Structure 1
């Protein structure tokens, strides 16, 4: 370009009259309204036509949950959650805001079929301490040191029957007989080497707020699966009920 050549002139701009501006604004408003109305119509049609799976969630969304679950299970083999120095451990939040059950811990028993196991029974299994991250679906997390026995060691001593695919865990403390909380696990996750039946947190016995005398610590799952105050444990051939899955959440809840 010749530096002495003047720059090309800009194309002339055309100013719109107030009437033309008003007409364009009205047209844009009508198009936007039509788009919103169309979206609402499609949403209404979906809500009326799409089948419900019985928990309040549409089957198409439940299918997405199942697809994610199959993918997560395929990646589970050999995968370990990160572990941390015990010096980083803190007390996690207690997200349960109802009345915390007060129980006689000396009288507590874990019901497993016809067995009624005390905490001392469980403490005959090899003791393990792991410092892992507890992650909540609400977005917060905390590094915690859990001490207990591996679920895999529990399963060696009290093996599942052939064909068992799941583990059902329930919390039914006295005064909360209507299943205060219940969780279902795929048995592969239960037998993961970092899944613990924990009786201690950060070097101290569990408090009532954090699930005394026994809770699940499973760092490959979100906190909703880390059930507190376990009173019943069973192996199942069919998928058991799960507190949050009954409300439409993902059953697998894997990280």
Structure 2
């Protein structure tokens, strides 16, 4: 070895030869073209699938394949539902003010003092009126549960009101024989559904009777220790924590009972009628 011969570093012989820059750029172009073609084909497949979905016949406002998914979800939540299944409750200290979210049914000015809840007797068809004091005279129930929105957010809220089941036990309006509603031993001729609407009927929800009689379903008049505000449904709203917030109708104006499933505001727009979680 002389001064002009560089010393060989151990491991040099194992290193692969350097690839010329031109070959590197050519390979990068080939890979870019393959990626572009692959992404393009995937995009076309996605568009084709979406086009096929939109071309399907509509069922209650949405394409049939999507309706089948919602119906499957409805069957699942119905099968999972039990009177003994309760939504989790939280310490009162965790309660926060939820979003108002939605003005349907709340746009018309309302005098709380003049407000009356109108309930149609399932047996006679006659309508009875109840004041807020009538509701507040029922056993007072307080619970802190999670309000879950179908948009994906949730808030822990403290609610105070009367159980819907206590209302129907005190005022037996839901059975054709006039029997008080008993969640543990429901009358054979108890209405299977409940139709609840705002005073202007702009917002409306339907409930199956077992959900209405669930021990956590409240006719609610206070939130986080204060009377309801207009934006949160004063003077009376529904709270049913095993269902998404779209079922928690604000500013209840009327209640009726039905043999067939009543219309529901968001179900009319393509959402799951049961809206359980």
Pairwise CA RMSD of aligned residues?
2.7
Find the residue that maps to 2:210 and give its secondary structure.
helix
Q: Report deviation, 1:231.
A: 0.1
Q: Report deviation, 1:250.
A: 1.4
Matched, 1:234 2:256: yes
Matched, 1:61 2:61: no
Q: Please give the alpha-carbon distance, in whole angstroms, between the structure 1 residues aligned to 2:59 and 2:85.
A: 31
| 8 Å Cα contact 1:100/1:208 also seen in 2 | no
Q: Please give the alpha-carbon distance, in whole angstroms, between the structure 1 residues aligned to 2:168 and 2:27.
A: 78
| Residue of structure 2 in register with 1:117 after alignment | 130
| Residue of structure 1 in register with 2:207 after alignment | 185
Q: After superposition, give the CA deviation of every residue in 1:236-255 in whole Å (9 maximum; x if it has no partner).
A: 11111111111111111112
Q: Larger deviation: 95-104 or 200-209?
A: 95-104
Matched, 1:84 2:84: no
Q: Report deviation, 1:65.
A: 1.2
| Correspondent of 2:191 among 149, 156, 164 | 164
How does the TM-score come out when normalised to structure 1? Answer: 0.83
Q: After superposition, give the CA deviation of every residue in 1:151-202 in whole Å (9 maximum; x if it has no partner).
A: 1112222342325222111012xxxx3x221111121111110000011122
Q: Please give the alpha-carbon distance, in whole angstroms, between the structure 2 residues aligned to 1:131 and 1:31.
A: 51
Q: Please give the alpha-carbon distance, in whole angstroms, between the structure 2 residues aligned to 1:191 and 1:69.
A: 18
Q: Which has the larger radius of gyration?
A: 2
| 8 Å Cα contact 1:102/1:208 also seen in 2 | no
In structure 1, list runs of 5 or more residues that go unmatched.
1-5
Check 1:155–1:31 CA distance in 2 against 1; reply closer, same or farther (3 A cut): same
How does the TM-score come out when normalised to structure 2? Answer: 0.77
Q: Report deviation, 1:24.
A: 5.5
Count matched residues.
244
Matched, 1:106 2:133: no
Runs (4+) off by over 4 Å: 8-15, 17-25, 97-100
Matched, 1:251 2:273: yes
